[in-house]
Structure 1
Amino acid sequence: MLGSHAIQPAEKSSELHARAGAAAADRASFARAEAKRGHARAAPREDEVRGDPKGTGRCVRLLSLVLSFVPALGTAPSAAQGSLPSRPWLDPALLPAAKAEGSLIVYSSTNEQEGLPLFKLFTEATGIKVDYVRASDAVLLPRMAIEFRADQRSYDIVQTATINKMPPQMLAEYEPAEANNISPDARDPNKRWHGVYANYNSPAYNTERVKASELPRSYEEFAQRKEWAGKVAIDGTDNEWLKGMVQYYGERDGIELIKRIVATLRPVVTDGHLAMARATGAGEYWVSLNNYVNLSMNVKLAGGAIDIWVLDPVTLFFGQVGVNAKAPHPSAARLAANFMLSRECQAFLARFGRLPTRKDVQSNPPGVIEMLTQKKVVTVLMSPEEERKWQRQFDQLFKGR
C-alpha cells in the first residue's frame, strides 16, 4: 500500500495537481499532516510559491489515497514501443538491503494521478512500502533545507524540476546504473541528480481558432500578429524560457524582441501551465506564447483542441531525481532512483505526455522529440540567484507594461 500526503497550493496547483478522488480537506498545518502519517516531524509554516516552482499559498491538505482508486490518464504507450523487458533496474546489489529497510519516503512535485500509480509499480516489484509526499518545488526546497539543518532524516528521494538548485551537500553522490541510458545533458556531472523527463518549451495554439497556415514561422513574426492582441497567454513564471530566448538572440536583441511581442500581443499573464494549456485547448486563449510541451500534449491526448508548433529556440530543462544525503532508507532510495531512470518508469510517464530522457522510450504522441530537436535546443539550468534575476526581468517585461 502506498500513502500520499499533499500540500495544495492556492496558486500553481492546477499544473501539477490533477487530483484524484474526493479526499477530505485538512486545514491544519503540514506538521499535523505529517503526524497523521506516523512521521511527526516539526515543520514551520511555509508559503507555497509554484509547483514548477513559484507563486504563493498556505492551504494544506492531507490525502489518504488507495492506488486502486487512482485513474491512469493519457493513452497507453504505442505498440511500436513494444513490451517492456524484465526489470533490469532491480539491482541485485541493492535489492536485499532495500527490502530489509522495507520503506521509501518520496518528496515530489508530480501530481498524485501520475505519482501514485508510478510508485505502485515500484511497490509491486519490490514489496517496499512507499510514502508519497506531494508539494510544489517552492515548498519542498525550503522544507528540505530546514530539515537538513535540523539533521532530520525525513525523506529518501526527491523528484522535482529544481534539484539542480539544491546545495550539493544535501544530496548523495550516486550514479544509478540506468543513468547510462539517459541523455548526457540529463546527467549531473557531479552525480547529484539525473533527468527523469525532459521539459521542452514551445508555443501552442487552439486548432479551432487558428489555422496551421497562420502560425508564425519565427518569434519575430509574433510581433506582426496584431489581430491576436489579448488572445495570447503566457505563464507568469516562464523565466527559463526568457533566459533561453536571450541566450539564443543575445541580450540586447532578445530583450528588444520580447518588448515588441508584448507591445503587439498584450499577452495575458496566467497562473499555472496546465491551466493555461487547458484554457488554450478550450479556446479561451487562441495561442500560448510558451508552454511545457508535455502539458500541451497532455491536454491534446485528453481530446483538447490544442497542438504545438516549434520555433527556434526550444528551451529545455529536466524533471529530476536525487537521493537525500541523510536518507533514512539509503538502499531503497538508490534503488528507487534507478527505477526512476528505467525504461519501465519513463514509458509509464509517457502515457501522460511526459517526454523521456531515454532514447529507447517513444514519446507520446510519437515523433514529438524528433520534431523538437530539429530546432536549436537551449538547455537552461539556473542557480537560485539566476532564477531570481530572470524572474525580475520577466516581471518587468510582461507585468510592468
Structure 2
Amino acid sequence: MRITNFRRVLAGLGVAAVTFAAAACGSGDTVDVSADDLGPSGDSSWQAVIDKAKEEGSVTYYSGQATDNLQTAASAFESAYGIKVDIVRDNDANLQTKLAAEEATGNQVADVVASAAKPWVAERLAQNYYVPVTGPAFSAPEFDADKFLRDGTIFTSSAAVLTYGWNTDRVPDGLSGYEDLLAPELAGGKIGVILPISAAIVDFYDYLNETVAPDYVAKLAAQKPRTYTGAQAIAQALTSGEIAAAAYTLPLTTEKEKGAPVDFGLASPVFGAPFLTGVTAKAPHPNAAQLFSNFLVTKAGQTAIANRAGAVLPDIETATTSADNIWTSSRTVTADDTVAFRSQFEQMFGSSQ
C-alpha cells in the first residue's frame, strides 16, 4: 500500500508566528505505509535501535516545514513503527528562542530539529549540539550523501519551494517570469511580497537580484506591492483575488486541483529554503530520534515531508522539484545582515509596509 492523503492545503512555510503542536494522530488520518517505502532494513544493530525507539515511545520534532506535511509524516511514522511524533512548528527565530531556553534550563525537549537558518545550524554543529545520524537510509544509493548530508550529522530533509504566482481571473495571460511582475498594470497594491523577517527570506531577495537583475528588488518596490508575513497568507490572497500576482508563494497545485483561479511558474534554478535537520545530542528519546531521522529520507518520509517542496530522493511524486534544483546563495546571511536588510527594505518599500 502507498501513503495516502497527501494533497491538502498547506499552512505556511517557516514564517508563521504561532507554534503548532500536534500528536501523530492529530490530523485524524489513517496512513498506510509499505515496508518497501521504508528504505533499507539495516543490520542487527539497527534493529536494536528500532526496538529501543519503540520502548521510548515518542519523538519530538521541531520544524518550520509545512504543517500538513508534518502531520502526514507524523501519521505515517506512527503507522509504520507505533511511535508517537510530537510536532512543534514555528518559524526559525521562535524555535531558536525556545531551544536556547531549553539549553539554559537543562530541560531538553527537542529530539530532532529542522531549521532553514544556515548560520545558526553551523554554530550548533561547531558546538556539538548534534550527533551523527546512524540510519541505513543515509547510506542507500538513492540518497546522495555528498549533496544532502554534512559531516555525517546534518541532513537536508526537504527544501521549501517559493515562487511567483498569479490569479488567473485578474491576470488571464499569466506570467512568464519574475520580470512580468514589473508590468505597469500590476502597480499599486496588486502584487504580494514577503516581509524579510528571517535570514531565509533575505536570501530570497538576494536570489531576485542575482538571478533576475541587480536592481530588480528596487524596481519591484516601485510597484508599491502589498506585504505579507507568510507564504500561505499570500497564497490565500491570490486565491481570493485580493491581489493579482505574487513574487513569493507556494506552488499552487492543490489550490488549482480544488478549482481556485490561480497558477504559478518555476524559474531555473528555483528559490527554496533547505531544511537542515539533525538529532540533538541531549535528545530525551535518542533512538526514536535516529529512527525518525532515518524515516525522513526514505520514500515514505519524503512523500510526506517534501509534498509541494524539494525532495532529496528521486521520483517523489508529491514533490515539486529536486532539492538539488534549489538556488544556492553566494553568501551566508547573518542575524546582523537580516536586521540591516529589513531597514533597507522599509526604505525601498515605504508606504507599502
- TM-score for both structures, normalised by structure 1: 0.69
Asked if the contact 2:22/2:88 (under 8 Å) is kept, the reply is: no
Unaligned runs of 5+ in 2: 1-8
Q: Does 1:215 align with 2:178?
A: no
**In 2 relative to 1, CA 349–131 (structure 1 residues): closer, same or farther, beyond 3 Å?**
closer
Listed as ranges, the matches of 1:50-65 within 5 Å are: 52-53=14-15
Could you tell me which residue of structure 2 aligns to residue 177 of structure 1?
136
Asked if the contact 2:272/2:327 (under 8 Å) is kept, the reply is: yes
Asked if the contact 1:200/1:314 (under 8 Å) is kept, the reply is: yes
Asked if the contact 1:108/1:160 (under 8 Å) is kept, the reply is: yes
Identity %: 22
Look up the SS of the partner of 2:55 in the other structure. helix
What's the CA shift string for 1:66-125, capped at 9, x where partnerless?
8275358xxx9xxxxxx7725225545121222233332222334654323421222222
Task: Tell me, in whole angstroms, the C-alpha distance in 2 between the residues paired with 1:84 and 1:287.
Answer: 43
What's the CA shift string for 1:317-360, capped at 9, x where partnerless?
2133221111111111111101111110111345x533322113
Match for residue 197 of structure 1 among 154, 158, 169: 158
Task: Tell me, in whole angstroms, the C-alpha distance in 1 between the residues paired with 2:178 and 2:63.
Answer: 36
Counterpart of 1:240, as a letter, is D
Task: Tell me, in whole angstroms, the C-alpha distance in 2 between the residues paired with 1:299 and 1:190.
Answer: 39
Task: Tell me, in whole angstroms, the C-alpha distance in 2 between the residues paired with 1:267 and 1:185.
Answer: 40
Counterpart of 2:335, as a letter, is P
Listed as ranges, the matches of 1:25-40 within 5 Å are: none
Task: Tell me, in whole angstroms, the C-alpha distance in 2 between the residues paired with 1:234 and 1:340.
Answer: 31
Match for residue 321 of structure 2 among 369, 377, 397: 369
Q: Does 1:241 align with 2:200?
A: no
Look up the SS of the partner of 1:310 in the other structure. coil
**In 2 relative to 1, CA 369–106 (structure 1 residues): closer, same or farther, beyond 3 Å?**
closer
Could you tell me which residue of structure 2 aligns to residue 87 of structure 1?
38
Could you tell me which residue of structure 2 aligns to residue 105 of structure 1?
60
Task: Tell me, in whole angstroms, the C-alpha distance in 2 between the residues paired with 1:185 and 1:232.
Answer: 39
Task: Tell me, in whole angstroms, the C-alpha distance in 2 between the residues paired with 1:392 and 1:86.
Answer: 47
Task: Tell me, in whole angstroms, the C-alpha distance in 2 between the residues paired with 1:200 and 1:316.
Answer: 4
Unaligned runs of 5+ in 1: 1-13, 18-50, 77-82
Q: Does 1:396 align with 2:347?
A: yes
Task: Tell me, in whole angstroms, the C-alpha distance in 1 between the residues paired with 2:267 and 2:37.
Answer: 39
Q: Does 1:360 align with 2:315?
A: yes
Deviation at 1:297, TM superposition (A): 2.9
Could you tell me which residue of structure 1 aligns to residue 282 of structure 2?
326
Task: Tell me, in whole angstroms, the C-alpha distance in 1 between the residues paired with 2:347 and 2:136.
Answer: 44
Q: Does 1:346 align with 2:302?
A: yes
Look up the SS of the partner of 1:133 in the other structure. strand
Task: Tell me, in whole angstroms, the C-alpha distance in 1 between the residues paired with 2:267 and 2:287.
Answer: 43
**In 2 relative to 1, CA 248–228 (structure 1 residues): closer, same or farther, beyond 3 Å?**
closer
Asked if the contact 1:242/1:394 (under 8 Å) is kept, the reply is: no
Listed as ranges, the matches of 1:127-276 within 5 Å are: 127-162=82-117, 165-166=120-121, 167-168=124-125, 169=127, 170-174=129-133, 176-180=135-139, 181-182=142-143, 187-212=148-173, 215-217=175-177, 219=179, 221-223=180-182, 225-229=183-187, 230-237=189-196, 238-248=201-211, 254=214, 256-263=215-222, 265-276=223-234
Task: Tell me, in whole angstroms, the C-alpha distance in 2 between the residues paired with 1:150 and 1:161.
Answer: 25
Task: Tell me, in whole angstroms, the C-alpha distance in 2 between the residues paired with 1:64 and 1:175.
Answer: 26
Counterpart of 2:14, as a letter, is D
Deviation at 1:136, TM superposition (A): 3.2
Asked if the contact 2:176/2:265 (under 8 Å) is kept, the reply is: no
Deviation at 1:211, TM superposition (A): 2.6
Asked if the contact 2:209/2:217 (under 8 Å) is kept, the reply is: no
Look up the SS of the partner of 1:262 in the other structure. helix
**In 2 relative to 1, CA 186–299 (structure 1 residues): closer, same or farther, beyond 3 Å?**
farther
Asked if the contact 1:172/1:325 (under 8 Å) is kept, the reply is: yes
**In 2 relative to 1, CA 172–384 (structure 1 residues): closer, same or farther, beyond 3 Å?**
farther
Look up the SS of the partner of 1:378 in the other structure. coil
Counterpart of 1:277, as a letter, is A
Could you tell me which residue of structure 1 aligns to residue 240 of structure 2?
282
Counterpart of 1:215, as a letter, is L
Task: Tell me, in whole angstroms, the C-alpha distance in 2 between the residues paired with 1:130 and 1:274.
Answer: 24
Asked if the contact 2:131/2:281 (under 8 Å) is kept, the reply is: yes
Asked if the contact 1:179/1:187 (under 8 Å) is kept, the reply is: no
What's the CA shift string for 1:46-78, capped at 9, x where partnerless?
xxxxx62476x7xx78x6768275358xxx9xx
**In 2 relative to 1, CA 302–344 (structure 1 residues): closer, same or farther, beyond 3 Å?**
same
